[in-house]
Amino acid sequence: MDENYESVRAAQEIWPQPLSDPKQLYRNFYDLMHKASHNIVCAYCGIIRYDIDGFSLVSTNNKMLAPLAVNPATVPFLFDCRITAIDQHHIMIDPLAIKDQNTISICNNCYSQLSSGSLPAEALANFRWIGPVPEELKDLTWVEEALVARSHLFGRVFRLEQSEAWRANIFITQRTYRIGPTEHHEALRYSTNVTRFAG
């Protein structure tokens, strides 16, 4: 604790430190934002991320896809992705991860597990498939989605514009809904935490 205190004191004495080259700072910021502004889906676990450094591109003929093969008789829907090299071996992937007929994207977590020859625990092929969304559940509002989900965690940021009567405020909400019987036989339970920042 003493060392930590001394390091804080030393940092305060030399604060503020001179900035490095502003143009280089801007270039670094631009490059980082550019890399983190993509919508990329993992073919194996279906997760969506935004940083291209967290993904690898893999050939659709790569033998490391073999652990993703599933028995079609156990899946109650068609999961063909229209890539022959994958469909002929009944390999289940998320079609949103297809870059072209020869390339799919996978997250680094799944890549490391498949490189060792094991099936990623989060893979859709590990009995985690849900199939296509039914027509009745498409185009729901986020409130309706929260109400029909058995368990759903989400956050929202609301920005209220400044008006004559009110200052601009930003609300950050975190809510957890659990719908269905609980150990106390409650039909619906939810908790809400709201943090308010004056703008």
Binding site for Zn ion (CB under 5 A): 42, 44-45, 107, 110
Least distance to Zn ion from the beta carbon of 125, Å?
11
* Residue whose C-alpha is closest to residue 179's, from 169, 171, 189: 189
Residue 87 vs 122, nearer CB to Zn ion: 122
Q: Which residue has the tokens 């889906």?
A: 41
Residue 42 vs 83, nearer CB to Zn ion: 42
Residue 113 vs 177, nearer CB to Zn ion: 113
Residue 42 vs 92, nearer CB to Zn ion: 42
Sheet holding 103-107, edge to edge: 55-59, 103-107, 98-100
**List of residues 6+ apart from 158 with CB closer than 8 A:** 170, 171, 173
Residue 44 vs 177, nearer CB to Zn ion: 44
Least distance to Zn ion from the beta carbon of 104, Å?
11
Least distance to Zn ion from the beta carbon of 44, Å?
5
Give kind and range of the element (H or E) at residue 173: strand 169-179
d(CA 154, CA 166): 27
Least distance to Zn ion from the beta carbon of 117, Å?
16
Spell out the SS3 assignment of 71-98. CHHHCCCCCCCCCHHHHCCCECCCHHHE
Least distance to Zn ion from the beta carbon of 62, Å?
15
Residue 104 vs 107, nearer CB to Zn ion: 107
In the three-class reduction of DSSP (H, G, I as helix; E, B as strand; rest coil), residue 4 is classed as helix
Least distance to Zn ion from the beta carbon of 109, Å?
5
Where would I find the H helices in the chain? 2-13, 22-35, 84-87, 108-115, 142-148
